[in-house]
Amino acid sequence: MKLKLAAALLFLTGAGANAADYAVVHAGRLLAEPGGAVSENQTVIIKDGRVARVASGFLGADDINANADDAVSVHDLKSMFVMPGLIDGHVHITSENNPKGRLQRVEMSEADRAIAGAGFAKKTLMAGFTTVRDVGAGSSDAIFALRDGIARGDVAGPRIFAAGAVISVTGGHGDGTQGYRDDIAELLHSSGVCDGVGECRKAVREQVRRGADQIKLTATAGVLSNTAAGLEQQFFEDELKAIIDTAHSMGRKTTAHAHGVNGINAALRAGVDTIEHGTYLDNESIRLFRRNDAYLVPTILAGVTVAEWAEDPDTFLLPPQRAKAAEVGPKMLDMARRAHKGGVKIAFGTDSGVSKHGDNAREFALLVEAGLTPMEAIRTATLAGADNLGKSDVLGSIAPGKYGDLVAVDGDPLTDITELEDIDFVMKEGVVYKDK
């Protein structure tokens, strides 16, 4: 729907030193706190990018105590369903898998990656995802530059929490040099690769020094690494504990890529905050998740995507990748179903970069297929997503003091969750980026 500019009131901008920017949103139906009730005919007042107040009825510019030199815009969403901006807790925003991916690793500079990432970031924002966690990207220069450029307003994109380089064992998932000539592999060497307790501590500290918001580690082998190393545990227990304890001592949350059950359980015992994927979790895993109050990010869409690639006779996957994709992909939906039934906390994450950026919302229907209600699925990408990032004070709901991040659709996602695959309105920190 088109923003009704005729209904928008714009006062003088920037005339006074204390001038404020207000966005007044008239919501026909408002899900301010997912899990709670949907309210009708509400006004959300956003001041300088943060929610100032949520009020019943449709308030006008004269009702919000704005000064004469404040800028006030009024947005008519009276016919729409409005909810908090969405959070994807697992993306790789500076890349997207494709048949030329291995060649691009040696062709593209970090500047190239940042420019590509800007395009992917815009697609992600237009899909309604106003916040993402990037869980690992090469040497990290590109992701940090993109994160900071978005924060400054130079580039349109979601708010990014970046993990920097993935913490990985030599030759493990996250190393990324498998199959390249030794001299090329040396050029591609990541600052996150480490072996032994001392090196692991240093690798974590190096990511923090470079600006990482969170720490990502690979507790097990992975599907898309070019090696026939299975899918089980790669770090030893003392290394896992060193990584996680070091990150926590420096104020960073930790998340572990983990498919095999031994790696899942070892990471949980070591105190990891989140498990990504979790393909082979068992009853002991579920007990550890609940005991530690840890999150699972199931990335079902990634499983569907790699399974489709494995079935394609013309697939670009290399033989070790194809074998693992065929094994893992079909298992992830049932894994999420068992985890949800077992009471594991689930946060939304897609592994976009494996799947296409901008298609993130396809994960919602898969979560519902795994047994979540539409409301529960929405909660994974709002309140649970914020808690998973340690950012519940500023994200996850539409409440005073939180960022003015709103999305809206014409239909009712509580009746048809696929409504979220076609977001009609996107606002981030009070600024409209999409309105159709």
Confidence at 222, pLDDT banded by 50, 70, 90: low
Averaged over 70-88, what is the pLDDT?
A: 96
**DSSP track, 27-85:** EEEE-SSBTBPPEEEEEEEEETTEEEEEEES---GGGTT--TTSEEEEEEEEEEEEEEP
Instruction: State the pLDDT at residue 7.
Output: 39
* Token output for 164: 């920097």
pLDDT tens digit string along 347-395?
999 999 999 999 999 999 999 999 999 999 999 999 999 999 999 999 9
Instruction: State the pLDDT at residue 139.
Output: 63
128 phi, psi to nearest 5 deg: 100, 5
Averaged over 150-154, what is the pLDDT?
A: 96
* Token output for 335: 């894994």
CA distances, 309 to each of 132, 203, 313, 329 (Å): 25, 33, 8, 10
Percentage of the chain exceeding pLDDT 70: 90
Buried b (16+ CB within 10 A) or exposed e, 126-156: bbbbbbbbbbbbbbbbbbbbbbebbeeeebb
Q: Is residue 146 pLDDT above 90, yes or no?
A: yes
Residue type, 358: G
Instruction: State the pLDDT at residue 11.
Output: 35
pLDDT tens digit string along 310-360?
777 778 777 877 877 777 778 888 999 999 999 999 999 999 999 999 999
Confidence at 107, pLDDT banded by 50, 70, 90: confident
Q: What is the mean pLDDT of the chain?
A: 89
Beta-bridged to residue 82, according to DSSP, are 30, 408
52 phi, psi to nearest 5 deg: -100, -35
- For strands 406-409 and 71-84, give the pairing: antiparallel
Judged on CB neighbours under 10 Å (0-12, 13-18, 19+), 4 is: middle
Beta-bridged to residue 272, according to DSSP, are none
Rounded CA-CA distance 29/40 in Å is 4
Averaged over 89-98, what is the pLDDT?
A: 90
Q: Is residue 5 pLDDT above 70, yes or no?
A: no
pLDDT tens digit string along 22-39?
999 999 999 999 999 999
Domain with CATH 2.30.40.10 in the chain: 5-85+397-435
pLDDT tens digit string along 233-256?
999 999 999 999 999 999 999 999
* Token output for 202: 């240093």
Of the two residues 217 and 19, the one the predictor is more confident about is 217
CA distances, 325 to each of 24, 278, 281, 321 (Å): 47, 14, 17, 6
Confidence at 13, pLDDT banded by 50, 70, 90: very low
Confidence at 10, pLDDT banded by 50, 70, 90: very low
* Token output for 256: 């572990």
Averaged over 143-163, what is the pLDDT?
A: 96
CATH superfamily of 5-85+397-435: Urease, subunit C, domain 1 (2.30.40.10)
* Token output for 279: 């393909």
Contact 24, 59 (CB under 8 A): yes
CB atoms within 10 A of CB 406: 28
**DSSP track, 119-177:** HHHHHHHHTTEEEEEE---TTSHHHHHHHHHHHHTSS---EEEE--SPBB-TTSTTT--
Domain with CATH 3.20.20.140 in the chain: 86-389
Contact 215, 256 (CB under 8 A): no
Lowest mean pLDDT among 284-288, 354-358, 412-416: 354-358
Rounded CA-CA distance 423/364 in Å is 13
Rounded CA-CA distance 162/245 in Å is 19
pLDDT tens digit string along 163-215?
989 999 887 776 665 666 777 766 666 778 999 999 999 999 999 999 999 99
Q: What is the 3-state secondary structure (H, E, C) of 241-303?
A: HHHHHHHHHCCCCEEEEECCHHHHHHHHHCCCCEEEECCCCCHHHHHHHHHHCCEEECCHHHH
Q: Is residue 106 pLDDT above 70, yes or no?
A: yes
Q: Is residue 298 pLDDT above 80, yes or no?
A: yes
| CA 423, chain centre distance (Å) | 17
Instruction: State the pLDDT at residue 179.
Output: 63
CATH superfamily of 86-389: Metal-dependent hydrolases (3.20.20.140)
DSSP state of 351: -
Instruction: State the pLDDT at residue 284.
Output: 97
Instruction: State the pLDDT at residue 189.
Output: 67
Averaged over 118-129, what is the pLDDT?
A: 98
Confidence at 4, pLDDT banded by 50, 70, 90: very low
